[in-house]
Structure 1
Amino acid sequence: MTLVTGANGFVGGEIVRQLRDRGVPVRLAVRRAAGADEVGVGDIGPDTDWSAALVGVGRVIHCAARVHQMDDRAADPLEAFRGVNRDGTAALARQAAAAGAKRLVFLSSIKVHGETTKDRGPFTADDVPDPQDPYGQSKWEAEQALRVIAAETGIEIVVIRPPLVYGPGVRANFARMMSWVARGRPLPLGLCRNQRSLVSVTNLASLAIAASRHPAAAGATLLASDGETVSVRDLLARIGTALGRPARLFPVPPALLRLAGSLTGQRAAIDRLCDPLVIDGAPTRQLLGWNPPLTMAEALAQMAPAPEPAA
């Protein structure tokens, strides 16, 4: 039995779908149970009781988290992230080990490494972590807590650090880019040639399932990607191809975009658009003998709205 936390979320839901397609028994941990195969665990934190969800479970794929927020209204964002992402994860791991689970796969974040690969090579799993915001810091602290628990209890820990995840149902920044292109909005990003690594939700779910079962994954830190890099300019063009309408891009030097971002209080958002963030996913593929099931073009095509039936 595999337990998936955050099972009704963007990534967790895709993992559940793929597990069911493979005929793998799966239990869904959610905040409030609504179905026969769901277990409600309430809010996640250091005191969450996972006992009902863990009965008979051999593997855990932990997706539930307090996610990165653009406008965080918590009084102390770092402590809010720590309560869920570090302390809640540690509580789950200890209870899973006590219940007899063999392995826990933790969905961390590439933000553990930092925000950009500007002036350096791609991120690798061996790089010294350098989180730059409370979300990334909480994920890094969770990873460290899990390693301690593994040493104390023997539960196998696998860490996956994905970059931006996209696919049907995506929200936040990627959804905004889709909307910009779909509405034909002119975009001043024609000179944004920075390279970015991404991972589709289908590919990430496939990797998480492989990591939950492959013997070589025990104790590993895995960087996830589609195996392709793409500039923001080219990504928008590919989105346009998937939507069947060209992206309307015009050339503005990134330096001017950054200046405009500084003047309008949007510098961090502009930096994310203009800076590179590339990861080396080859060691992950080699270790597990795994390859992404979808290309980026195929994944983007899945996001296009279905054509309307002919009258």
Structure 2
Amino acid sequence: MERLQKKSVMTLSATNVLVTGANGFIGEAVVARFVVDGCNVAGAVRRPAGASWAVSSPSLGNDADWRPLLAGKTVVVHTAARAHMLNDRVADPLAEFRRVNVEGTLLLAVQSAAMGVRRFVFISSIGVNGADTFQQPFISEDQAAPHSPYAVSKYEAELGLQALAAETGMEVVVIRPPLVYGPNAPGNFGSLMRWLQRGVPLPLGAIHNRRSMVALDNLVDLIVTCADHPAAANQTFLVSDGEDLSTTQLLQRLGRALGKPARLIPVPALLLKVGAALVGKPAIAQRLCGSLQVDISKTQQLLGWTPPLSVDEGLKRAAEGYLREASV
């Protein structure tokens, strides 16, 4: 980790970076890392609240004017997006995802190119590859198979960015993370920590799937590397911790990190899938019982990059952050 951090300080100290979505789970951590590395960074947030790096962000849509924020910037890291909605009440979710994640992203990118930005780093999703791996892990060169409106919007944004790069010469880097976990992680991972901490028995003691995840610090380290690494230009990268776990293994190791041994009941995966289908929640069973693995060999070989944290170190940091928040 020291080697990567020192490289970043040397190469990024004179770089001017704009990070969108800087009050989000990923964006906030990216800004913090750039600050530590001595980079001149501005973080776009909807309501700046005193941080020296914070700047007021326009809404991510098809009529935003980003140009005042882009003046003098050489790199844009675009983490802002309309994310997954568990109970989406929008009449046409795909149209809304496209308005924000495709039209909004491409407008930002067009304005970035016009303002002289050299590199645009786009945080996409492993959902572009698909929802499940059956025979072998995903690679970035696989034929896209986006499985949800969110993933479709991310893929369409990727295609638009690639076309823009060819037209303007602005370098584009795409990163497709799987589940990202860390302190204050939203979504399913945060729910798992709450259940484990409360000692809730979970029917997940006999799940033999394999899933790739990425610790927040590992993803941030790759983003910072991609902001300046010459070999990253116009590439798509997959990222993970480099060790895949079953759902059962994840809960066992997360329980140890929390100091709360997981109480797991060995219910067969098939029964869980049937039960979830009966109550209209098949997607939840798929995420808990299905396999999704990524191959990061391209990322490692092309960039000389290794995940700085092991899975257990990442889980420990996530647990410590959760316990700090819970004690407040």
TM-score (norm 2): 0.91
Secondary structure of the residue aligned to 2:120 is strand
Residue pairs, 1:186-225, within 5 angstroms? 186-225=201-240
Secondary structure of the residue aligned to 1:105 is strand
Instruction: State the alpha-carbon separation in 2 of the partners of residues 307 and 256 from structure 1.
Output: 36
The counterpart of 2:264, out of the listed 232, 249, 264, is: 249
Instruction: State the alpha-carbon separation in 2 of the partners of residues 38 and 16 from structure 1.
Output: 9
Shift of 1:307: 7.9
Instruction: State the alpha-carbon separation in 1 of the partners of residues 114 and 199 from structure 2.
Output: 55
Residue 74 of structure 1 aligns with an amino acid whose one-letter code is V
2:95 is matched with 79
Residue 182 of structure 2 aligns with an amino acid whose one-letter code is G
Secondary structure of the residue aligned to 1:196 is coil
Instruction: State the alpha-carbon separation in 1 of the partners of residues 273 and 139 from structure 2.
Output: 28
2:3 is matched with none
Write out per-residue CA displacement over residues 24-79 of structure 1, whole angstroms, 9 at most, x where no aligned residue.
Answer: 11011112333343222231011111011101100010000000111111111001
Instruction: State the alpha-carbon separation in 2 of the partners of residues 13 and 215 from structure 1.
Output: 25
1:158 aligns with 2:159: no
Residue 11 of structure 1 aligns with an amino acid whose one-letter code is I
Residue 209 of structure 1 aligns with an amino acid whose one-letter code is V
1:47 is matched with 63
Secondary structure of the residue aligned to 2:172 is strand
Instruction: State the alpha-carbon separation in 2 of the partners of residues 296 and 21 from structure 1.
Output: 23
Instruction: State the alpha-carbon separation in 2 of the partners of residues 231 and 256 from structure 1.
Output: 17
The counterpart of 1:141, out of the listed 156, 173, 182, is: 156
Residue pairs, 1:89-128, within 5 angstroms? 89-118=105-134, 120-128=135-143
Residue 318 of structure 2 aligns with an amino acid whose one-letter code is M
Secondary structure of the residue aligned to 2:252 is helix
1:265 aligns with 2:280: yes
Instruction: State the alpha-carbon separation in 2 of the partners of residues 66 and 108 from structure 1.
Output: 11
CA contact (8 A) 1:192 1:231 kept: yes
Secondary structure of the residue aligned to 2:19 is strand
Secondary structure of the residue aligned to 1:157 is strand
1:60 is matched with 76
Write out per-residue CA displacement over residues 147-173 of structure 1, whole angstroms, 9 at most, x where no aligned residue.
Answer: 111111110000000000000010110
Residue 222 of structure 2 aligns with an amino acid whose one-letter code is L
Over aligned residues, Cα RMSD in angstroms? 1.3
Residue 151 of structure 1 aligns with an amino acid whose one-letter code is A
Instruction: State the alpha-carbon separation in 2 of the partners of residues 190 and 38 from structure 1.
Output: 44
CA contact (8 A) 1:39 1:52 kept: no
Secondary structure of the residue aligned to 2:263 is coil
Secondary structure of the residue aligned to 1:238 is helix
Instruction: State the alpha-carbon separation in 2 of the partners of residues 215 and 85 from structure 1.
Output: 27
Unaligned ranges ≥5, structure 1: none
2:9 is matched with none
Shift of 1:303: 2.1
Residue pairs, 1:277-296, within 5 angstroms? 277-296=292-311
Residue 210 of structure 1 aligns with an amino acid whose one-letter code is T
Secondary structure of the residue aligned to 2:245 is strand
Residue pairs, 1:180-191, within 5 angstroms? 180-191=195-206
Write out per-residue CA displacement over residues 73-110 of structure 1, whole angstroms, 9 at most, x where no aligned residue.
Answer: 11110011011111111001110011001000000000
CA contact (8 A) 2:58 2:66 kept: no
TM-score (norm 1): 0.96
CA contact (8 A) 1:41 1:48 kept: no
CA contact (8 A) 1:41 1:49 kept: no
Unaligned ranges ≥5, structure 2: 1-15
What is the aligned length? 307
Secondary structure of the residue aligned to 2:212 is strand
Instruction: State the alpha-carbon separation in 2 of the partners of residues 238 and 133 from structure 1.
Output: 30
2:193 is matched with 178
> Once superposed, which parts of structure 1, at least 4 consecutive aligned residues long, lie more than 6 Å away?
none
Distance of aligned partners of 1:265 and 1:57 in 2 relative to their CA distance in 1, 3 Å threshold? same
Instruction: State the alpha-carbon separation in 1 of the partners of residues 27 and 53 from structure 2.
Output: 14
